[in-house]
Amino acid sequence: MLQFDQVSLRFPDAPAPTLRNCTFEVDIGELVVILGPSGCGKTTLLKLVNRLYEATAGQIFFNGKDIQTIPLTALRRQMGYVIQQAGLFPHMTIAQNIAVVPKLLGWSKTEMAARVEELLDLVQLSPDFRQRYPSQLSGGQQQRVGLARALAANPAVLLMDEPFGALDAITRKSLQGELLKLQQQFHKTILFVSHDIEEALRLADRILILNQGHLVQYGTPWQILTQSASPFVEELVGTEDVLKQLSVLSVERVMVTTTSPVPHLPKIDCHASLRAALSLLLKSGQSQLQVMTGETAVGILDLNHIQAVWQDPAGLDTRPLV
Ligand SMILES: Nc1ncnc2c1ncn2[C@@H]1O[C@H](COP(=O)(O)OP(=O)(O)O)[C@@H](O)[C@H]1O
Ligand SMILES: [Mg+2]
């Protein structure tokens, strides 16, 4: 859906390029989180996609076409843009804010009203919000409107620049959850900028890590974590912290119980930590372990079980503590 080929950008008068030789692809329906410290070039990369900035070298393809060959309005129509603090127009009502792009596209009043109603429902705001102004909404509600506005003309791609960055932790979590739900329903292709590793791990199909304009790693959360490309990545994603979490959880809590032993699998005690299990899995090159209590087989532990735990630690809460 999107393809960067050796893309670089150097601002006029800047001593060094802000982005250097970035090459990566984003598949249809994929949610990619662009992660990195402040100033590393995340926003710049995002703005290249809808041509708010132009690359000074390299090419960007959208649906196989060089974006330079696509008329700007046609390109932007297919890309919803969501920014921090929503960026709503203060003098316009919520309904007018949401309908900005449909209005530009010449939709009728009836069509716009129907779409506004549909979108408010989608982002879980009551229809009463239509006539309010942005200043009369909480930060989280404004962000919901920002998302509704970006979705209004049903774009294929969503560009989201730290959309939940200014919200409190609880509101941020609930909006992340809703974004995931929307994503399951609509399968947009999403580029989502964040500097929050937890947010990245929670949302991303793949994470793209930038450091000083260089793409340093691009992979699934699991790959980023278990095969960090450099000490920079390890520190950024807190590989140590995740390993710490895995060392306080026992194999017993996530294994699948079965009393029929599987021959030839490496064996591990049910009270061993997930960290020890992970280490044994990686060392043995197997994807499963036989879980034992003394000489008795009591279950199977799969790599996927460990993966599921750290991708969604909350899922553990429903299991009995050991
Ligand atoms: N329009 C611009 N002109 C000149 N320099 C810019 C411009 N936009 C961003 N930069 C510089 O590019 C670097 C990356 O900025 P940015 O992409 O906003 O970082 P991030 O979003 O990762 O915090 C920064 O050093 C910033 O000062
Ligand atoms: Mg930024």
Ligand 1 neighbourhood includes 169 CB (under 6 angstroms): no
Outline where the chain has alpha helix (H): 42-49, 72-77, 94-98, 100-104, 109-122, 139-151, 169-186, 197-203, 221-226, 231-237, 239-247, 251-254, 274-284, 303-311
Does the domain at 2-237 match CATH 3.40.50.1000? Answer given as no
Return the closest-CA partner of residue 167 out of 133, 197, 196, 207: 196
- Domain segments of the chain: what residues? 2-237, 244-318
Instruction: Give residue 104's pLDDT.
Output: 86
In this prediction, residue 321 has a pLDDT band, given cuts at 50, 70 and 90, of very low
What percent of the chain is predicted at pLDDT more than 70?
96
Q: How remote is the CA of residue 223 from the centroid of ligand 1, in Å?
A: 28
- What contacts 258, CB < 8 A, 6 or more positions away? 297, 298, 299, 300
Tell me, using a 6 A CB cutoff, whether residue 313 lines ligand 1: no
The residue ranking higher by pLDDT, 317 or 245, is: 245
The architecture (CATH level 2) of 244-318 comes to: Alpha-Beta Complex (3.90)
Q: Which atom of ligand 1 is nearest to the CA of 195?
A: 22
pLDDT per position as a tens digit, 101-157:
899 888 999 999 999 999 999 888 999 999 999 999 998 899 999 999 999 989 999
CB atoms within 10 A of CB 297: 16
Q: How confident is the model at residue 2 (pLDDT cuts 50, 70, 90)?
A: very high
State pTM to two decimals: 0.82
Pocket test for ligand 1, best of 43, 44, 49, 215 (most atoms within 8 A of CB): 44
Using CA positions, which residue lies closest to atom 7 of ligand 1? 11
Q: Is 213 touching ligand 1 by the criterion CB < 6 Å?
A: no
